[in-house]
Amino acid sequence: MRGLILSDDQTTDDMEDGPPATAQLPLDAWHRARGARMVPFAGYEMPIQYTGEGGGIVAEHEWTRTSAGLFDVSHMGQVLLSGEGLDEAVEAILPIDLSTLKLGRQRYSLLLDENGGVLDDLMVSRWPGNLYLVVNGATKWDDIGHLREHLPDAITLHHMDEHALLALQGPKAVDALARHATGEYALSDLTFMRFGRFEIAGHVVTIARAGYTGEDGFEISIPAEAAEEIATLLCAEPEVRPIGLGARDSLRLEAGLPLYGHDLSPEISPIEAGLIFGINKRRRSEGGFLGAERVQSEIAKGPAKTRIGLKLDGRMPAREGAKVFAGTEEIGVVTSGGFSPTLGAPIAMAYVDPAHAGEGQTIEIEVRSKRLSATVSPMPFVPHNYYRGS
Amino acid sequence: MPRYFTDEHEWIDVEGETATVGITDYAQEQLGDIVFVELPDVGAMVDKGGEAAVVESVKAASDVYAPITGEVTETNSSLEDEPALVNTSPEEEGWFFRLTISDTGELEGLMDDKGYKTFVDSL
Protein backbone atom coordinates (compact mmCIF):
# COMPACT_ATOMS: atom_id res chain seq x y z
CA MET A 1 0.00 0.00 0.00
CA ARG A 2 1.07 3.58 -0.49
CA GLY A 3 0.44 6.86 1.24
CA LEU A 4 1.61 5.54 4.58
CA ILE A 5 3.51 8.62 5.57
CA LEU A 6 1.14 11.13 7.07
CA SER A 7 2.59 14.41 6.03
CA ASP A 8 1.06 17.61 4.78
CA ASP A 9 1.51 19.18 1.38
CA GLN A 10 1.23 22.67 2.79
CA THR A 11 5.01 22.69 3.14
CA THR A 12 5.36 22.99 -0.61
CA ASP A 13 4.83 26.73 -0.25
CA ASP A 14 7.70 28.90 -1.36
CA MET A 15 10.17 28.82 1.53
CA GLU A 16 13.08 30.50 -0.26
CA ASP A 17 13.42 33.30 2.24
CA GLY A 18 13.07 31.03 5.24
CA PRO A 19 15.20 28.52 7.06
CA PRO A 20 16.23 25.27 5.36
CA ALA A 21 13.52 22.59 5.09
CA THR A 22 12.57 20.76 8.28
CA ALA A 23 14.18 22.92 10.92
CA GLN A 24 13.68 21.96 14.55
CA LEU A 25 11.34 23.70 16.96
CA PRO A 26 12.17 24.26 20.66
CA LEU A 27 10.07 21.25 21.75
CA ASP A 28 11.43 18.79 19.15
CA ALA A 29 13.14 16.46 21.66
CA TRP A 30 10.25 16.85 24.09
CA HIS A 31 7.78 15.56 21.48
CA ARG A 32 10.00 12.63 20.52
CA ALA A 33 10.41 11.63 24.18
CA ARG A 34 6.60 11.42 24.39
CA GLY A 35 6.35 9.06 21.43
CA ALA A 36 5.42 11.64 18.81
CA ARG A 37 5.47 10.65 15.16
CA MET A 38 7.21 13.61 13.56
CA VAL A 39 6.47 14.77 10.00
CA PRO A 40 7.61 17.74 7.91
CA PHE A 41 5.12 20.59 8.18
CA ALA A 42 5.53 24.28 7.34
CA GLY A 43 9.28 23.80 7.14
CA TYR A 44 9.61 22.13 10.54
CA GLU A 45 9.54 18.65 12.00
CA MET A 46 6.24 18.55 13.87
CA PRO A 47 4.23 15.94 15.77
CA ILE A 48 1.34 14.57 13.67
CA GLN A 49 0.21 12.31 16.52
CA TYR A 50 1.55 10.54 19.59
CA THR A 51 1.88 6.82 20.12
CA GLY A 52 1.14 4.77 23.22
CA GLU A 53 -1.70 5.25 25.69
CA GLY A 54 -4.02 8.10 24.74
CA GLY A 55 -2.24 8.52 21.42
CA GLY A 56 -3.76 8.43 17.93
CA ILE A 57 -5.74 11.07 16.07
CA VAL A 58 -9.22 9.97 17.23
CA ALA A 59 -8.19 9.55 20.89
CA GLU A 60 -6.37 12.90 20.86
CA HIS A 61 -9.36 14.56 19.18
CA GLU A 62 -11.82 13.20 21.73
CA TRP A 63 -9.51 14.07 24.63
CA THR A 64 -9.42 17.70 23.48
CA ARG A 65 -13.22 17.86 23.14
CA THR A 66 -13.76 16.48 26.66
CA SER A 67 -10.69 17.51 28.69
CA ALA A 68 -7.66 19.57 27.56
CA GLY A 69 -5.02 19.14 24.87
CA LEU A 70 -1.64 20.84 24.60
CA PHE A 71 -0.64 21.78 21.05
CA ASP A 72 2.80 23.02 20.07
CA VAL A 73 2.17 25.75 17.50
CA SER A 74 5.63 27.27 17.66
CA HIS A 75 5.88 27.04 13.86
CA MET A 76 3.50 29.98 13.64
CA GLY A 77 4.97 33.45 13.22
CA GLN A 78 4.79 35.89 16.12
CA VAL A 79 5.40 39.45 14.94
CA LEU A 80 5.53 42.70 16.91
CA LEU A 81 4.89 46.01 15.14
CA SER A 82 5.66 49.39 16.68
CA GLY A 83 6.43 52.99 15.71
CA GLU A 84 4.96 56.39 14.92
CA GLY A 85 1.68 56.24 12.98
CA LEU A 86 1.32 52.49 13.55
CA ASP A 87 -2.48 52.22 13.37
CA GLU A 88 -2.72 54.22 10.17
CA ALA A 89 0.08 52.23 8.54
CA VAL A 90 -1.46 48.88 9.46
CA GLU A 91 -4.94 49.94 8.31
CA ALA A 92 -3.46 50.67 4.87
CA ILE A 93 -2.65 46.94 4.64
CA LEU A 94 -5.25 45.09 6.73
CA PRO A 95 -9.05 45.56 6.53
CA ILE A 96 -9.16 46.01 10.29
CA ASP A 97 -10.65 48.92 12.27
CA LEU A 98 -7.96 49.62 14.85
CA SER A 99 -9.92 52.53 16.36
CA THR A 100 -12.14 49.93 18.04
CA LEU A 101 -9.38 47.49 19.02
CA LYS A 102 -8.80 48.22 22.69
CA LEU A 103 -5.80 47.32 24.80
CA GLY A 104 -6.01 43.66 25.80
CA ARG A 105 -8.20 42.66 22.87
CA GLN A 106 -7.43 40.36 19.97
CA ARG A 107 -9.14 40.30 16.58
CA TYR A 108 -9.14 38.07 13.49
CA SER A 109 -7.91 39.76 10.32
CA LEU A 110 -6.72 38.99 6.81
CA LEU A 111 -3.65 39.78 4.78
CA LEU A 112 -4.86 40.51 1.24
CA ASP A 113 -3.01 41.12 -1.99
CA GLU A 114 -3.84 43.94 -4.44
CA ASN A 115 -6.43 41.68 -6.15
CA GLY A 116 -8.24 40.89 -2.92
CA GLY A 117 -6.85 37.34 -2.70
CA VAL A 118 -6.03 35.98 0.76
CA LEU A 119 -2.27 35.88 1.47
CA ASP A 120 -2.88 34.76 5.04
CA ASP A 121 -5.29 34.95 7.94
CA LEU A 122 -3.98 36.19 11.25
CA MET A 123 -4.69 37.46 14.75
CA VAL A 124 -3.98 41.07 15.70
CA SER A 125 -3.70 42.05 19.38
CA ARG A 126 -3.17 45.46 20.90
CA TRP A 127 -0.34 45.29 23.38
CA PRO A 128 0.79 48.40 25.29
CA GLY A 129 2.47 50.56 22.65
CA ASN A 130 2.46 48.00 19.85
CA LEU A 131 0.50 45.45 17.83
CA TYR A 132 1.18 41.73 18.17
CA LEU A 133 0.41 39.51 15.18
CA VAL A 134 0.19 35.72 14.97
CA VAL A 135 0.44 34.42 11.39
CA ASN A 136 0.50 30.94 9.84
CA GLY A 137 3.74 28.96 9.87
CA ALA A 138 3.90 28.06 6.18
CA THR A 139 3.33 31.67 5.12
CA LYS A 140 5.23 33.59 7.78
CA TRP A 141 8.31 34.38 5.69
CA ASP A 142 6.20 35.68 2.82
CA ASP A 143 4.01 37.61 5.29
CA ILE A 144 7.02 39.29 6.87
CA GLY A 145 8.31 40.21 3.40
CA HIS A 146 4.91 41.59 2.44
CA LEU A 147 4.62 43.65 5.63
CA ARG A 148 8.17 45.02 5.30
CA GLU A 149 7.44 45.99 1.70
CA HIS A 150 4.21 47.82 2.46
CA LEU A 151 4.88 49.33 5.90
CA PRO A 152 6.62 52.72 6.03
CA ASP A 153 10.16 52.95 7.42
CA ALA A 154 8.89 54.49 10.66
CA ILE A 155 7.36 51.13 11.61
CA THR A 156 9.60 48.55 13.25
CA LEU A 157 8.85 44.87 12.63
CA HIS A 158 10.23 42.38 15.13
CA HIS A 159 9.92 38.66 14.36
CA MET A 160 9.68 37.06 17.83
CA ASP A 161 11.50 33.89 16.80
CA GLU A 162 12.94 33.65 20.31
CA HIS A 163 9.42 32.78 21.47
CA ALA A 164 7.52 29.50 21.38
CA LEU A 165 3.72 29.28 21.17
CA LEU A 166 1.59 26.70 22.96
CA ALA A 167 -2.17 26.21 22.69
CA LEU A 168 -4.07 24.62 25.56
CA GLN A 169 -7.54 23.73 24.29
CA GLY A 170 -10.60 22.04 25.73
CA PRO A 171 -13.30 22.46 28.36
CA LYS A 172 -10.86 21.75 31.22
CA ALA A 173 -8.02 23.93 29.88
CA VAL A 174 -8.95 26.77 32.23
CA ASP A 175 -8.77 24.52 35.30
CA ALA A 176 -5.31 23.19 34.43
CA LEU A 177 -3.82 26.52 33.39
CA ALA A 178 -5.27 28.46 36.35
CA ARG A 179 -3.10 26.36 38.71
CA HIS A 180 0.04 27.81 37.11
CA ALA A 181 -0.78 31.21 35.65
CA THR A 182 -0.51 34.09 38.10
CA GLY A 183 -0.95 37.76 37.33
CA GLU A 184 -2.58 41.02 38.27
CA TYR A 185 -5.96 39.41 37.72
CA ALA A 186 -7.28 35.87 37.62
CA LEU A 187 -6.99 33.80 34.45
CA SER A 188 -10.74 33.25 34.64
CA ASP A 189 -11.24 36.99 34.09
CA LEU A 190 -10.10 36.56 30.50
CA THR A 191 -12.97 36.05 28.09
CA PHE A 192 -12.81 34.89 24.47
CA MET A 193 -10.45 37.02 22.33
CA ARG A 194 -8.87 38.85 25.26
CA PHE A 195 -5.34 38.42 26.49
CA GLY A 196 -3.12 39.39 29.37
CA ARG A 197 0.38 39.21 30.80
CA PHE A 198 0.89 36.42 33.34
CA GLU A 199 3.69 34.41 34.95
CA ILE A 200 4.10 30.65 34.72
CA ALA A 201 6.86 29.09 36.84
CA GLY A 202 8.54 32.50 37.07
CA HIS A 203 8.51 33.12 33.30
CA VAL A 204 6.69 36.10 31.85
CA VAL A 205 4.13 34.84 29.33
CA THR A 206 1.28 36.31 27.30
CA ILE A 207 -1.97 34.35 27.38
CA ALA A 208 -4.84 34.89 24.93
CA ARG A 209 -8.20 33.16 25.35
CA ALA A 210 -8.49 31.89 21.79
CA GLY A 211 -7.68 28.88 19.65
CA TYR A 212 -8.35 26.79 16.58
CA THR A 213 -10.42 23.90 17.90
CA GLY A 214 -13.82 25.51 18.61
CA GLU A 215 -13.31 24.77 22.30
CA ASP A 216 -12.58 27.14 25.14
CA GLY A 217 -8.84 27.49 25.46
CA PHE A 218 -5.70 29.56 25.45
CA GLU A 219 -2.74 30.46 23.29
CA ILE A 220 0.38 31.02 25.37
CA SER A 221 3.39 32.89 24.06
CA ILE A 222 6.47 31.92 26.05
CA PRO A 223 10.25 32.34 25.86
CA ALA A 224 11.67 29.46 23.78
CA GLU A 225 14.09 28.49 26.56
CA ALA A 226 11.13 27.94 28.93
CA ALA A 227 9.16 25.82 26.45
CA GLU A 228 10.18 22.40 27.78
CA GLU A 229 9.64 23.39 31.40
CA ILE A 230 6.19 24.87 30.77
CA ALA A 231 5.03 22.07 28.45
CA THR A 232 6.11 19.48 31.03
CA LEU A 233 4.38 21.39 33.82
CA LEU A 234 1.08 21.60 31.92
CA CYS A 235 1.16 17.96 30.75
CA ALA A 236 1.69 16.87 34.37
CA GLU A 237 -1.85 18.10 35.08
CA PRO A 238 -4.34 15.21 34.98
CA GLU A 239 -6.57 17.03 32.47
CA VAL A 240 -3.80 17.60 29.92
CA ARG A 241 -2.28 15.45 27.19
CA PRO A 242 -0.12 16.49 24.23
CA ILE A 243 -2.03 16.57 20.93
CA GLY A 244 -0.63 16.40 17.40
CA LEU A 245 -1.37 18.13 14.10
CA GLY A 246 -3.69 15.33 12.94
CA ALA A 247 -6.25 16.05 15.65
CA ARG A 248 -5.68 19.79 15.25
CA ASP A 249 -6.89 19.41 11.67
CA SER A 250 -9.94 17.27 12.47
CA LEU A 251 -10.89 19.60 15.36
CA ARG A 252 -10.70 22.76 13.26
CA LEU A 253 -12.65 21.09 10.43
CA GLU A 254 -15.48 20.21 12.84
CA ALA A 255 -15.32 23.80 14.12
CA GLY A 256 -15.79 25.06 10.53
CA LEU A 257 -12.53 27.02 10.64
CA PRO A 258 -10.71 27.41 7.31
CA LEU A 259 -7.11 26.22 6.96
CA TYR A 260 -4.74 28.44 5.03
CA GLY A 261 -3.22 26.76 1.96
CA HIS A 262 -6.35 24.60 1.61
CA ASP A 263 -9.55 26.58 2.24
CA LEU A 264 -7.83 29.95 1.82
CA SER A 265 -5.39 31.03 -0.88
CA PRO A 266 -4.53 34.00 -3.12
CA GLU A 267 -7.17 32.69 -5.57
CA ILE A 268 -9.89 33.10 -2.92
CA SER A 269 -11.34 36.36 -1.58
CA PRO A 270 -12.49 36.79 2.03
CA ILE A 271 -16.07 37.30 0.84
CA GLU A 272 -16.00 33.99 -1.04
CA ALA A 273 -14.59 32.41 2.12
CA GLY A 274 -17.46 33.77 4.23
CA LEU A 275 -15.04 35.79 6.33
CA ILE A 276 -16.74 39.18 6.04
CA PHE A 277 -16.41 39.54 9.82
CA GLY A 278 -12.67 39.88 9.13
CA ILE A 279 -13.43 43.04 7.14
CA ASN A 280 -14.40 45.44 9.91
CA LYS A 281 -17.55 47.54 9.30
CA ARG A 282 -15.96 50.96 8.83
CA ARG A 283 -13.51 49.47 6.33
CA ARG A 284 -16.25 47.85 4.21
CA SER A 285 -17.59 51.29 3.28
CA GLU A 286 -14.36 53.31 3.49
CA GLY A 287 -12.02 50.83 1.81
CA GLY A 288 -8.43 52.07 1.71
CA PHE A 289 -6.75 48.68 2.25
CA LEU A 290 -5.02 46.36 -0.22
CA GLY A 291 -7.60 44.45 -2.26
CA ALA A 292 -10.48 46.75 -1.21
CA GLU A 293 -11.86 47.09 -4.74
CA ARG A 294 -12.68 43.39 -5.14
CA VAL A 295 -13.90 43.04 -1.57
CA GLN A 296 -16.29 45.99 -1.90
CA SER A 297 -17.53 44.81 -5.28
CA GLU A 298 -18.25 41.32 -3.95
CA ILE A 299 -20.03 42.73 -0.90
CA ALA A 300 -22.28 44.67 -3.29
CA LYS A 301 -22.80 42.10 -6.03
CA GLY A 302 -22.13 38.80 -4.31
CA PRO A 303 -19.14 36.50 -4.89
CA ALA A 304 -18.72 34.05 -7.80
CA LYS A 305 -18.28 31.14 -5.41
CA THR A 306 -18.81 30.54 -1.74
CA ARG A 307 -17.45 28.31 1.03
CA ILE A 308 -19.93 25.76 2.34
CA GLY A 309 -20.00 22.89 4.80
CA LEU A 310 -21.00 19.41 3.62
CA LYS A 311 -22.19 16.36 5.51
CA LEU A 312 -21.68 13.19 3.47
CA ASP A 313 -23.94 10.15 3.41
CA GLY A 314 -22.24 6.87 4.29
CA ARG A 315 -18.75 6.56 5.76
CA MET A 316 -16.44 7.27 2.83
CA PRO A 317 -14.68 10.64 3.23
CA ALA A 318 -14.10 13.04 0.33
CA ARG A 319 -10.71 14.72 0.31
CA GLU A 320 -9.31 18.02 -0.90
CA GLY A 321 -9.59 18.31 -4.69
CA ALA A 322 -12.72 16.18 -5.11
CA LYS A 323 -15.15 17.72 -7.61
CA VAL A 324 -18.66 18.74 -6.56
CA PHE A 325 -21.66 18.23 -8.86
CA ALA A 326 -25.33 19.18 -9.05
CA GLY A 327 -26.64 16.57 -11.45
CA THR A 328 -24.29 16.63 -14.43
CA GLU A 329 -23.13 20.19 -13.77
CA GLU A 330 -19.76 20.64 -12.05
CA ILE A 331 -20.35 23.34 -9.43
CA GLY A 332 -17.21 23.38 -7.31
CA VAL A 333 -14.43 21.59 -5.44
CA VAL A 334 -13.73 20.23 -1.95
CA THR A 335 -10.95 22.14 -0.17
CA SER A 336 -10.89 20.17 3.12
CA GLY A 337 -12.42 16.83 3.88
CA GLY A 338 -12.13 14.14 6.47
CA PHE A 339 -13.89 12.04 9.01
CA SER A 340 -15.48 13.76 12.00
CA PRO A 341 -14.77 11.72 15.15
CA THR A 342 -17.47 13.64 17.05
CA LEU A 343 -20.21 13.04 14.46
CA GLY A 344 -18.94 9.62 13.39
CA ALA A 345 -19.40 10.66 9.77
CA PRO A 346 -17.46 12.30 6.95
CA ILE A 347 -17.59 16.09 6.61
CA ALA A 348 -16.03 18.55 4.18
CA MET A 349 -15.65 22.16 3.17
CA ALA A 350 -16.08 23.11 -0.47
CA TYR A 351 -16.29 26.14 -2.71
CA VAL A 352 -19.36 26.06 -4.96
CA ASP A 353 -21.51 28.25 -7.17
CA PRO A 354 -23.70 30.25 -4.73
CA ALA A 355 -26.82 29.02 -6.55
CA HIS A 356 -26.18 25.60 -4.98
CA ALA A 357 -25.04 26.79 -1.55
CA GLY A 358 -28.36 26.82 0.25
CA GLU A 359 -28.49 24.89 3.52
CA GLY A 360 -30.17 21.53 3.06
CA GLN A 361 -29.47 21.33 -0.68
CA THR A 362 -28.26 17.93 -1.83
CA ILE A 363 -25.22 17.72 -4.08
CA GLU A 364 -22.80 14.99 -5.13
CA ILE A 365 -19.06 14.63 -4.69
CA GLU A 366 -16.95 12.56 -7.06
CA VAL A 367 -14.49 10.26 -5.27
CA ARG A 368 -12.55 7.70 -7.33
CA SER A 369 -15.21 7.88 -10.09
CA LYS A 370 -18.01 7.20 -7.60
CA ARG A 371 -20.64 9.78 -6.69
CA LEU A 372 -21.18 10.39 -2.97
CA SER A 373 -24.34 12.17 -1.87
CA ALA A 374 -23.88 15.12 0.52
CA THR A 375 -26.02 17.82 2.12
CA VAL A 376 -25.07 21.48 2.48
CA SER A 377 -24.80 22.00 6.25
CA PRO A 378 -24.27 25.02 8.47
CA MET A 379 -20.87 25.42 10.07
CA PRO A 380 -19.57 24.82 12.66
CA PHE A 381 -20.40 21.13 12.34
CA VAL A 382 -19.81 20.81 16.10
CA PRO A 383 -20.95 23.79 18.22
CA HIS A 384 -18.30 26.22 19.43
CA ASN A 385 -17.72 26.28 23.15
CA TYR A 386 -16.04 29.66 23.66
CA TYR A 387 -16.04 31.37 27.05
CA ARG A 388 -17.66 34.78 26.69
CA GLY A 389 -18.16 35.48 30.39
CA SER A 390 -20.71 34.33 32.91
CA MET B 1 -0.85 -22.44 5.15
CA PRO B 2 1.99 -20.22 3.96
CA ARG B 3 1.80 -16.46 4.47
CA TYR B 4 3.67 -14.03 2.25
CA PHE B 5 4.31 -10.31 2.58
CA THR B 6 4.88 -7.46 0.12
CA ASP B 7 7.13 -4.44 0.52
CA GLU B 8 3.91 -2.36 0.34
CA HIS B 9 2.87 -3.92 3.69
CA GLU B 10 0.19 -6.31 2.48
CA TRP B 11 0.00 -9.90 3.69
CA ILE B 12 -1.30 -12.80 1.61
CA ASP B 13 -2.37 -16.24 2.87
CA VAL B 14 -2.31 -19.00 0.29
CA GLU B 15 -4.64 -21.96 0.61
CA GLY B 16 -4.86 -24.15 -2.48
CA GLU B 17 -5.95 -21.93 -5.37
CA THR B 18 -7.29 -19.14 -3.16
CA ALA B 19 -5.46 -16.29 -1.48
CA THR B 20 -6.61 -13.97 1.33
CA VAL B 21 -5.22 -10.43 1.43
CA GLY B 22 -4.94 -7.82 4.17
CA ILE B 23 -2.59 -5.14 5.48
CA THR B 24 0.03 -5.76 8.13
CA ASP B 25 0.10 -4.67 11.74
CA TYR B 26 2.93 -2.29 10.85
CA ALA B 27 0.75 -0.69 8.15
CA GLN B 28 -2.28 -0.16 10.41
CA GLU B 29 -0.02 1.29 13.09
CA GLN B 30 1.34 3.80 10.58
CA LEU B 31 -2.11 4.69 9.23
CA GLY B 32 -3.75 5.24 12.58
CA ASP B 33 -7.50 5.13 13.12
CA ILE B 34 -9.16 3.61 10.07
CA VAL B 35 -12.64 4.97 9.37
CA PHE B 36 -13.51 3.39 6.02
CA VAL B 37 -12.30 0.62 3.72
CA GLU B 38 -13.30 0.61 0.06
CA LEU B 39 -13.19 -3.00 -1.15
CA PRO B 40 -13.16 -4.32 -4.73
CA ASP B 41 -16.32 -5.79 -6.25
CA VAL B 42 -16.68 -9.56 -6.15
CA GLY B 43 -15.92 -10.84 -9.63
CA ALA B 44 -13.51 -8.01 -10.40
CA MET B 45 -10.11 -8.91 -11.88
CA VAL B 46 -7.17 -7.35 -10.08
CA ASP B 47 -3.64 -7.19 -11.45
CA LYS B 48 -0.49 -7.73 -9.45
CA GLY B 49 0.62 -4.26 -8.33
CA GLY B 50 -2.67 -2.67 -9.38
CA GLU B 51 -5.04 -0.78 -7.08
CA ALA B 52 -7.41 -3.15 -5.32
CA ALA B 53 -8.73 -1.32 -2.25
CA VAL B 54 -8.52 2.01 -0.45
CA VAL B 55 -8.05 2.54 3.27
CA GLU B 56 -9.25 5.83 4.71
CA SER B 57 -7.90 7.07 8.02
CA VAL B 58 -9.13 10.27 9.67
CA LYS B 59 -6.40 12.17 7.90
CA ALA B 60 -5.68 10.49 4.56
CA ALA B 61 -6.56 7.89 1.96
CA SER B 62 -4.09 5.12 1.09
CA ASP B 63 -4.21 2.66 -1.81
CA VAL B 64 -3.90 -1.06 -1.24
CA TYR B 65 -2.37 -2.97 -4.14
CA ALA B 66 -3.10 -6.52 -5.22
CA PRO B 67 -0.07 -8.66 -4.34
CA ILE B 68 -0.91 -11.08 -7.17
CA THR B 69 -3.22 -11.26 -10.20
CA GLY B 70 -6.60 -12.91 -9.78
CA GLU B 71 -10.37 -12.69 -9.61
CA VAL B 72 -11.93 -11.39 -6.40
CA THR B 73 -14.16 -14.11 -4.95
CA GLU B 74 -15.13 -12.66 -1.57
CA THR B 75 -14.73 -9.45 0.44
CA ASN B 76 -14.81 -8.95 4.21
CA SER B 77 -18.28 -7.49 4.81
CA SER B 78 -17.48 -6.97 8.52
CA LEU B 79 -15.34 -4.02 7.51
CA GLU B 80 -18.39 -2.10 6.26
CA ASP B 81 -19.75 -1.68 9.77
CA GLU B 82 -16.50 -1.99 11.68
CA PRO B 83 -13.53 -0.63 9.72
CA ALA B 84 -11.62 -0.41 13.02
CA LEU B 85 -11.15 -4.20 12.77
CA VAL B 86 -8.19 -3.33 10.57
CA ASN B 87 -6.64 -1.60 13.59
CA THR B 88 -7.58 -4.17 16.22
CA SER B 89 -7.01 -7.37 14.22
CA PRO B 90 -5.15 -6.47 11.02
CA GLU B 91 -3.75 -9.88 10.27
CA GLU B 92 -6.85 -11.97 11.12
CA GLU B 93 -10.38 -10.53 11.40
CA GLY B 94 -9.43 -7.38 9.49
CA TRP B 95 -8.72 -9.19 6.18
CA PHE B 96 -9.75 -7.36 3.02
CA PHE B 97 -10.58 -9.77 0.18
CA ARG B 98 -10.03 -13.24 -1.27
CA LEU B 99 -9.02 -13.97 -4.84
CA THR B 100 -8.20 -16.85 -7.13
CA ILE B 101 -4.53 -17.37 -7.86
CA SER B 102 -3.92 -17.02 -11.60
CA ASP B 103 -0.18 -17.62 -11.58
CA THR B 104 1.59 -19.20 -8.61
CA GLY B 105 4.83 -17.89 -10.09
CA GLU B 106 3.81 -14.42 -8.89
CA LEU B 107 4.29 -15.59 -5.31
CA GLU B 108 7.99 -15.86 -5.92
CA GLY B 109 9.81 -12.80 -4.76
CA LEU B 110 7.33 -12.08 -1.96
CA MET B 111 8.74 -12.15 1.56
CA ASP B 112 8.09 -14.73 4.25
CA ASP B 113 7.40 -13.81 7.88
CA LYS B 114 11.07 -13.57 8.78
CA GLY B 115 11.97 -11.62 5.66
CA TYR B 116 9.18 -9.11 6.28
CA LYS B 117 10.24 -8.61 9.89
CA THR B 118 13.79 -7.85 8.76
CA PHE B 119 12.39 -5.48 6.13
CA VAL B 120 10.26 -3.58 8.69
CA ASP B 121 13.16 -3.37 11.14
CA SER B 122 15.21 -1.73 8.41
CA LEU B 123 12.64 1.07 7.87
Weakest mean pLDDT among A6-20, A202-216, B65-79, B83-97:
A6-20
The predicted model gives A85-105 an average pLDDT of 97
* Chain A contact set for B65 (CB, 8 A): 1-2
Measured distance CA(A170)–CA(A319) in Å, rounded: 26
H helix count then E strand count, chain A: 9, 20
Put simply, whether B9 touches A (Cβ < 8 Å) is yes
Res A246: pLDDT: 95
Min Cα–Cα distance to chain A from B33, Å: 7
Which CATH number do you get for residue B28? 2.40.50.100
CA B63 to chain centre: 10
* Closest residue in chain A to residue B58, using alpha carbons only: A339
| Coil, strand or helix at A185 | coil
Does B53 fall in a domain? yes
Does B42 fall in a domain? yes
Does B65 fall in a domain? yes
Going by their DSSP bridges, the two strands A130-135 and A77-82 should be labelled as: antiparallel
Going by their DSSP bridges, the two strands B10-15 and B3-5 should be labelled as: antiparallel
Does B121 fall in a domain? no
The predicted model gives A68-82 an average pLDDT of 98
Is the Cβ pair A57, B32 closer than 8 Å? yes
Query: What is the percent of chain A where pLDDT is above 90?
Result: 93
Position A17 pLDDT exceeds 90: no
Mutation target to probe the B interface, by most B beta carbons within 10 A, among A2, A4, A60, A320 is A4
Domains: count for chain B: 1
Res A1: pLDDT: 60
Put simply, whether A249 touches B (Cβ < 8 Å) is yes
Position A7 pLDDT exceeds 90: no
Residue type, A267: E
Min Cα–Cα distance to chain B from A259, Å: 14
Min Cα–Cα distance to chain B from A60, Å: 11
Put simply, whether B36 touches A (Cβ < 8 Å) is yes
Position A27 pLDDT exceeds 90: yes
Is the Cβ pair B55, A1 closer than 8 Å? yes
Average pLDDT, whole number, for chain A?
A: 94
Does B89 fall in a domain? yes
The per-residue pLDDT for range A379-389, each reduced to its tens digit, is 999 999 999 99
Does B81 fall in a domain? yes
Which of A58, A250, A317 lies closest to B56 in CB terms?
Answer: A317
* Domain range for B13: 3-116
Measured distance CA(A79)–CA(B89) in Å, rounded: 48
Does B68 fall in a domain? yes
Res A21: pLDDT: 63
Does B36 fall in a domain? yes
**Cβ(B12)–Cβ(B3) below 8 Å:** yes
The predicted model gives A49-68 an average pLDDT of 95
Min Cα–Cα distance to chain A from B24, Å: 10
Those residues with Cβ within 8 angstroms of residue A196's Cβ, 6 or more apart along the chain or in another chain: A104, A183, A184, A185, A189, A190, A206, A207
